[in-house]
Amino acid sequence: MNMLVVDDEADIANMLAEFFRMEGYEVSVAHDGPSALAAASSGPTPDIMLLDVNMPGMDGFEVCRRVRKHVSCPIIFLTARVEDMDQLDGFAAGADDYVLKPFSLEVLGRRVAAHMAREGRTRDRQSDGAVRFFGEMTIDYAQRIVEVHGAGGNRDSSAGGDSNAVTVDLTKLEFDIIALLSKRPGQVFDRDVIYERVWGWDAAGDPSQVREHIRRIRNKFMSAGIADDPIATVWGVGYKWVAK
């Protein structure tokens, strides 16, 4: 069973990791929101998450909202916040449980085991394992959706969702190009290879079409609020994905 522990206090994160490894879990650790998203998308799909609320930059509520759209595992908040509204915000963000600090490791272990054993929890593992997070961008390969978070203004976290998320309107070919490049960040693909992989080896066209489709993708990304172009041109060769 894979567990993702997210806490900006290294001592707490390491203590939890050591305890649950002794309980038989494979544990990954992250210390901030962006690292948590990276671990959830590039590492093993978590079977359960322990998630701190108070973290600099991206708090646990936002991490939970981003992850919950694509991962169905139990998410347990670990926090010193005690107000009822904080707990309501946590559940609205998609959390399954809320544990207040300080807590007993043994009791937490029992609660984790209870969540893992709960009957009726189902997962679409294809969808869970087919999502990657690049900064403010989320790519869901199973649903064929590219979403930009926080575009056009501030998030309304009190509403329990990302009110400024923008779904990029892409054609089939445009999404296929994005999927090809983003699944292999840093790898350079020349235009002929992109054309063969996306259009098909027997397509009756011209690889120069790739350039026009890349131009359209870039314009759509810019319109959606993506400031840094995730697709880099390697002059004389082709293109590569550079977003992190």
Average pLDDT over residues 28-46: 88
Compute and round to an integer the Cα radius of gyration of the chain: 20
Cite the residue boundaries of each domain of the chain with CATH code 3.40.50.2300: 2-123
Q: How far apart are CA 68 and CA 151, in angstroms?
A: 19
Average pLDDT over residues 90-100: 80
Q: Which residues contact 148 (CB under 8 A, 6 or more apart)?
A: 136, 137, 138, 165, 166, 167, 168, 221, 224, 225, 226
Residue 114 confidence (pLDDT) above 60 = yes
Q: How far apart are CA 183 and CA 202, in angstroms?
A: 24
Domain 173-244 in this protein, CATH class: mainly alpha
| pLDDT for res 126 | 38
* Ordered DSSP codes for 133-187: EETTEEEETTTTEEEESSTTS---GGGTS-TT-EE----HHHHHHHHHHHTSTT-
CATH architecture of 2-123: 3-Layer(aba) Sandwich (3.40)
Which of 86-100, 120-134, 151-165, 210-224 is predicted with the least confidence, judged by mean pLDDT?
151-165
Q: Would the pTM of this model clear 0.75, i.e. be above it?
A: no
Q: For the chain, what percent of residues have pLDDT higher than 90?
A: 36
Q: Which residues contact 229 (CB under 8 A, 6 or more apart)?
A: 218, 221, 222, 242
Q: Which residues contact 71 (CB under 8 A, 6 or more apart)?
A: 40, 45, 46, 128, 131
| pLDDT for res 31 | 94
Task: Report yes or no: 23 and 109 within 8 Å, Cβ to Cβ.
Answer: yes
Confidence band of 160 (pLDDT split at 50, 70, 90)? very low
Confidence band of 117 (pLDDT split at 50, 70, 90)? confident
Exposed (0-12), middle (13-18) or buried (19+): which is 202, by Cβ within 10 Å? exposed
User: Would the CA dihedral through 198, 130, 32, 226 be positive or negative?
Assistant: positive
* pLDDT tens digits, one per residue of 161-214: 455 788 999 988 899 999 999 988 999 999 988 988 888 765 556 778 899 999
Say which residue the tokens 């070919």 belong to: 173
Cite the residue boundaries of each domain of the chain with CATH code 1.10.10.10: 173-244
| pLDDT for res 154 | 37
Confidence band of 30 (pLDDT split at 50, 70, 90)? very high
* pLDDT tens digits, one per residue of 128-154: 447 888 988 999 988 889 999 875 433
| pLDDT for res 28 | 94
Average pLDDT over residues 70-92: 77
Say which residue the tokens 């390969």 belong to: 141
* Ordered DSSP codes for 116-137: HH-TT----HHHHTSEEEETTE
